[in-house]
Amino acid sequence: MSPKAVQYRANSIIFFKGDKSEWVYLLNAGKVSLNYVDVETGQEVHDLIKMGEFFGVKSGLGRYPREETAVVLQDSSVMAFTPQEFELFAAKNTRIITKMLKVFSNQLRCIHKQVQTLMVSDAQENPETGLYKIGEYYLKNKRYGQALHAFKRYLVYYPTGAYAGDATNKIVQAEEFVSRYGSGAAQASPAAARAPASAGSPEGPAAGASEAPRREKSGELSDTAQQYYNAVSLVSQEKHTEAFKAFKKILEAGGDQEYAAKAEFEMAKCLFHLKQYDSCVRTFSSIVQKFPKHPDLREALFYVARSYEEKGDAAKAGGLYKKITTMAGDDDPVVRRARKALKAMEGQKA
Amino acid sequence: MSPAPDLSMFKRFMVSFRKGDIIFCEYEPGDTFYLIQSGRVQIVRIIGDLEKNIDILYPGEMFGEMAILEEAPRSATTIALDDVKALEFNRENFEVLMMGNPAIAMKLLKLFIKRIYDQKRRFMILTLDDTEARVADVFLMLAENQSMDTSAVDSIDFKTTVDDMSHWAGIPVAQTREALNHFVAQRRIELHPDRIVVKNINDFQRFVNSRRKHQEK
């Protein structure tokens, strides 16, 4: 079995929205557009398929109804793969899968964010309270090993959090229970909840509960990462001044380069929220100069544009929004936001 | 199922958990994902005062993959149901794994496809303004998840609770209960402690369709 080449005339349809079929297509020559209505904006979107690009992958492999109508704009030649043929082909061309994984993870991130936005009205637990409550649940249900784990994780992320005192007390309680009755549901080893198999004997038993979170084994959070997450949690509580200070501390400590860079980026965002637009622009400009290929370049530019807009410099803001919309990644949320901002600016002018 | 891929070259990523260990807690920030090598992993969420089993995963399956997308809090707690050995990856070594192992990459690709579809379906529910329509649409989604052809059946028994329905519909429990009670009064559903019987799923399909059309106007 091998994929078959199919010719389509201009104005014909390869598949309709709602169709169920397993074919996965590759555009060899011609021009094909995927047409669908954006659920968020209600607008009809036409996505042109690039030559050499696959389409119909999600619906074909997932066996879901087609989400778009594939319209042939010019006489085209496509290869049609069955899922099995596609898998065989992709297995020999791993780059294709990794590229698709990136596209899909981007789409997933996008739709996940949209869902989260609509869920705001739902009484969602904030992560800090949620994590603490998990500990409480397991303690109440006499699953001491698991309670201990949850409380310890709580202290890792929120060493000065609202429940830090309670969590510390409950760790002492849970440890007592563990030593008296075992871990509860199953014999867990609290200190070595996750020891790398190759790392020989795990660390000794858990030290005093009041001990500051210690550096954990490979794969777990470093001190810098913990500080970073604490700062991120401040952002989520909209405590931008405190968050800024915390990020600055990470940057100045100059330890883990990855987290230092992340912290600097977050600092610049905090500056925007603190309405310090000039500083925000300066910080982002320096980041972009340092890392011209920064993975979050679009977001950086977006904040710079918004800062200019807030300062009343519509020309610079508009120019930057336009630039973002021309950057690759059409379904990127930042690109969409930029497009929206541009539209709003144009609306104001009218 | 295809034969398990040879992962011996990834030994350095191997972590082990003892039976009963929590692998990660819901609400923790996450930056790692796992591929189970041996043992089973249970996925749970604590909703109200109950620990709810979401899924049980077996060797060859993955979990925590959302972490490679963003540093969002974990959406569930994972517990080792047996002694578990798993490969632990983060965003940095993710690509190495994928390039070296197309079978895993393909598995993840399919998992992403499913997740995208699930999230889109969920999003559709949340775009409905009317609470009763949302609750009805949750039933339709649950029926779709069971790969049920709703046109072929009428009455369906759903192993779900008011809390679950509230979660999917994105509305508070009290309001969800109210909507469900209304359906009970209309004899459209039967409410049991651990399950809900929808007497005519097609009736819900029509109801949701009409609300959606009404909203589009």
Option in A107, A143, A219 nearest B116 (CB): A107
> How far is the C-alpha of B150 from the C-alpha of B183, rounded, in Å?
19
Of A58, A145, A153, the CB nearest to B25: A153
Containing H/E element for A231? Answer: helix A223-236
Quote the distance between the C-alpha of residue B97 and its chain's center: 25
Q: How many C-beta atoms surround the C-beta of residue A2 within 10 A? A: 10
Task: Note the pLDDT of residue A255.
Answer: 74
Tell me the chain B residues in contact with residue A191 when contact means C-beta distances shorter than 8 Å.
none
CB B65 within 8 A of CB B43: no
Task: Give me the interface pTM, i.e. the ipTM.
Answer: 0.77
Instruction: Say yes or no for a CB contact (<8 Å) between B119 and A108.
Output: yes
Question: What pLDDT, on a 0 to 100 scale, did the predictor assign at position A328?
Answer: 65
Other C-beta atoms closer than 10 Å to the C-beta of B147 total 7
Shortest CA gap B118–chain A (Å): 10
CA distance B212 to chain A (A): 12
Strands laid side by side in the B189-191 sheet: B156-158, B196-198, B189-191
In this prediction, residue A152 carries a pLDDT of: 93
Could you give the count of Cα atoms lying within 13 Å of A350 in the half-sphere of its Cβ? 6
Q: What is the mean pLDDT of chain B?
A: 85
- Rounded-to-integer distance, Cα A210 and Cα A222, Å: 18
pLDDT band, very low/low/confident/very high, at B6 (cuts 50, 70, 90): low
**pTM of the shown model:** 0.59
Q: 3-state DSSP call for residue B212?
A: helix
Considering only alpha carbons, which residue of chain A is nearest residue B34? A219
Question: Chain B interface, mutation test: which of A24, A87, A108, A201, most B Cβ atoms within 10 Å?
Answer: A108
The predicted structure's pLDDT at residue A201 = 30
First-last CA distance in chain B: 47
First to last CA, chain A: 59
* Any A CB within 8 A of B29 CB: yes
Asked if A97 and B117 come within 8 Å (Cβ–Cβ), the reply is no
Angstrom distance (rounded) from CA A71 to CA A48:
10
Give me the sign of the Cα torsion angle B55, B58, B64, B65.
Answer: negative
| Backbone dihedral region for residue A218 (phi beyond 0: left; psi -120 to 50: alpha; all else: beta) | beta
CA dihedral A208→A211→A215→A219, nearest 10 degrees, is 60
User: Which residue of B23, B103, B109 is in closest CB contact with A101?
Assistant: B109
Torsion of CA A193, A195, A200, A205, to 10 degrees: -30
CB atoms A232 and B71 under 8 Å: yes
pLDDT at position B70: 61
Q: Which residues contact A165 (CB under 8 A, 6 or more apart)?
A: none
Q: Does B117 touch chain A (CB under 8 A)?
A: yes
- B49 by Cβ neighbours in 10 Å (0-12 / 13-18 / 19+) ranks as exposed
Query: Using a CB-CB distance cutoff of 8 angstroms, which residues of chain B are in contact with residue A119?
Result: 126, 170
Q: Which of A12, A32, A24 is nearest to A86 (CA)?
A: A24
A-B C-beta contacts closer than 8 Å: 176
Could you tell me which residues come within 8 angstroms of residue B147 by beta carbon, excluding any fewer than 6 positions away?
none
**Which parts of B39-90 are beta strand (E)?**
41-47, 50-57, 62-63, 77-80, 84-90
pLDDT block averages, 10 residues each, chain A of length 350: 91 94 95 89 90 93 92 96 93 86 81 74 71 93 92 92 92 86 54 33 30 36 71 75 88 78 88 90 86 78 90 88 77 74 73
Select the residue of A122, A143, A194 nearest B17 (Cβ to Cβ).
A194
Give the pairing of strands B196-198 and B189-191.
antiparallel
Nearest to A15 by CA among A52, A64, A53: A64
HEC-encoded secondary structure of A4-53: EEEEECCCCEEECCCCCCCCEEEEEEEEEEEEEECCCCCCEEEEECCCCC
Q: What are the two backbone dihedrals, phi and then psi, of residue B147, each rounded to the nearest 5 degrees? A: 50, 45
Q: What is the pLDDT of residues B153-198, one digit of tens each?
A: 778 899 888 888 888 888 888 899 999 999 999 999 998 888 899 9
The per-residue pLDDT for range B173-182, each reduced to its tens digit, is 889 999 999 9
**Residues whose CB falls within 8 Å of the CB of residue A58, separated by 6 or more in sequence, listed in order:** A64, A67, A104, B113, B116, B117
- B126–A188 CB contact, under 8 Å: no
What residues 128-157 of chain B have any CB closer than 8 A to a CB of chain A?
none
Give the 3-state DSSP-derived string for B141-201, with helices as H, strands as E and coil as C: HHHHHCCCCCCCCCCEEECCCHHHHHHHHCCCHHHHHHHHHHHHHCCCEEECCCCEEECCH
The listed CATH number (1.10.3720.10, 3.90.1310.10, 1.10.10.10, 3.30.930.10) that belongs to domain B127-216: 1.10.10.10
Extents of the domains making up chain B: 8-110, 127-216
Asked whether the beta carbons of residue B15 and residue A94 sit closer than 8 angstroms, the reply is no
SS3 category, B36: strand
pLDDT for residue B210 is more than 80: yes
Residue B211 Cα, gap to closest chain A Cα (Å): 15
State the Cα–Cα distance between residues A201 and B188, nearest whole angstrom. 60
Helix axes A240-253, A223-236, angle to 10 degrees: 160
Domain B8-110 fold is Jelly Rolls (2.60.120)
Question: Residue B1 has what pLDDT?
Answer: 43
Residues of B in contact with A183 (CB under 8 A): 20
Contact state of A61 with B110 under an 8 Å Cβ cutoff: yes
How many angstroms separate the CA atoms of B137 and B207, rounded? 9
In this complex, the residue of B15, B112, B116 whose CB is nearest that of residue A197 is B15
Task: Indicate yes or no: CB of A57 within 8 angstroms of CB of B113.
Answer: yes
Burial track B85-116 (b if 16+ CB lie within 10 A, e otherwise):
bbbbbeeeebbebbeebbbbbbbbbbbbbebb
Q: How confident is the model at residue B217 (pLDDT cuts 50, 70, 90)?
A: low
Helix axes A333-349, A297-311, angle to 10 degrees: 20
- Which residue from A minimizes the CA distance to B109? A101
Chain A partners of B171 at a C-beta cutoff of 8 Å? 121-122
Do the Cβ atoms of A23 and A85 come closer than 8 Å?
A: no
The reported pLDDT for the residue numbered A335 is: 75
CA angle A155, A151, A242 (to 5 degrees): 30
- Name the closest residue on chain B to residue A105, using Cα atoms: B69
For each of the domains in chain A, give its residue range(s) and CATH number, in order of start. 4-117 (2.60.120.10), 127-192 (no CATH), 223-349 (1.25.40.10)
Interface residue of B46, B97, B135 to substitute, partner A, most A CBs within 10 Å: B46
CB contact under 8 A, A94 and B88: no
Q: Which chain A residues are Cβ-neighbours of B122 within 8 angstroms?
A: 115
Q: How far is A149 from chain B (nearest CA, A)?
A: 7
Q: Write the DSSP string, A148-183.
A: HHHHHHHHHH-TTSTTHHHHHHHHHHHHHHHHHH-S
- The DSSP call for residue A262 is H
pLDDT of residue A188: 37
Residue A106, pLDDT score:
79
Q: What is the pLDDT of residue A57?
A: 94
Q: What is the dihedral of CA A110, A238, A163, B164, to 10 degrees?
A: -30
